[in-house]
Amino acid sequence: MEEGTLKSPGHMRDTVTAPAPAAPAGEDTADCVADYPYDVKQWDVREDCEVRQILDRIADKWSLLVIALLDCESLRFTELRREIDGISQRMLTRTLRHLERDGLVSRTVHPTVPPRVDYALTPLGSTLHATIQSLVAWTERHQSEIVAARAAYDAREAREAYGAPGKEHEG
């Protein structure tokens, strides 16, 4: 195994620079409400925090795609692989295992002669799917803006490379 399933220790830093603990339960999505005099963050971003770990996993490239793709009906292994362009068999297997372990997808094995395994979202996974979808929707809506921003950034950078004093060293 290249990645143990039960590994917990060994990667922790002793730098616990957490001056203020996270706010209690209750997510506050109110924007621009910097009323608190503290430097408090509304959610824990420490490495040893569960949320960080989970966020890390569901924000994973392949996990995101799998969840987004598994809308409601179940898909077979090969179907998923066909849908997600560029994923290797290995990565799909690993991703599905992780999602299954996290209780987000269910794995159903049919004991037929040609093996058949169906993957579907669990009820928990379905709730996540909604959020993932909004992320995908956002990307679709704003992709042109991002592409434009990139072009502008690159153009400005290239321009500054010309007139940058002390930067160029041509004879």
Partner DNA sequence: CAGGATCCTTTTCGATACTG
Partner DNA sequence: CAGTATCGAAAAGGATCCTG
By CB under 7 A, the residues from 64 to 123 that bind DNA are 76-79, 86-91, 93, 96-97, 107, 109, 114-117
Give me the amino acid identity at 115: P
Whole-angstrom Cα distance, residue 101 to residue 122?
A: 11
**Residue 120 interaction partner, one of a second copy, DNA, none, beta carbon < 5-8 Å per kind:** a second copy
Q: How far is the CB of 155 from a second copy (least distance, A)?
A: 11
Q: How far is the CB of 19 from DNA (least distance, A)?
A: 10
Q: Which is nearer to DNA, 11 or 141 (CB)?
A: 11
Does residue number 136 form part of the binding site for a second copy (CB under 8 A)? yes
Length of the chain, please? 171
Q: Which is nearer to a second copy, 11 or 171 (CB)?
A: 11
The sheet carrying 116-121 orders its strands as 75-76, 116-121, 105-110
Q: Which long-range contacts (CB under 8 A, 24 or more apart) does 28-37 make?
A: none
Whole-angstrom Cα distance, residue 27 to residue 85?
A: 36
Interface mask toward a second copy for 30-69; x: CB under 8 A: xxxxx----x-x-x-xxx--xx--xxx-xxxx--xx--xx
Q: How far is the CB of 91 from DNA (least distance, A)?
A: 4
For 30, which DSSP code? -
* Torsion angles phi and psi, residue 27, rounded to 5: -80, 135
Does residue number 27 form part of the binding site for a second copy (CB under 8 A)? yes
**Residue 156 interaction partner, one of DNA, a second copy, none, beta carbon < 5-8 Å per kind:** none
Residue 14 CB partners (closer than 8 Å, separation 6+): none
In the region spanning residues 152 to 171, those forming contacts with a second copy, defined by CB under 8 A, are: 152-154, 157
Count how many Cα atoms sit within 13 Å of the Cα of residue 95 in the half-sphere of its side chain: 22
Give me the residues that bind DNA (CB under 7 A), please: 1-3, 11, 13, 60-62, 76-79, 86-91, 93, 96-97, 107, 109, 114-117, 166
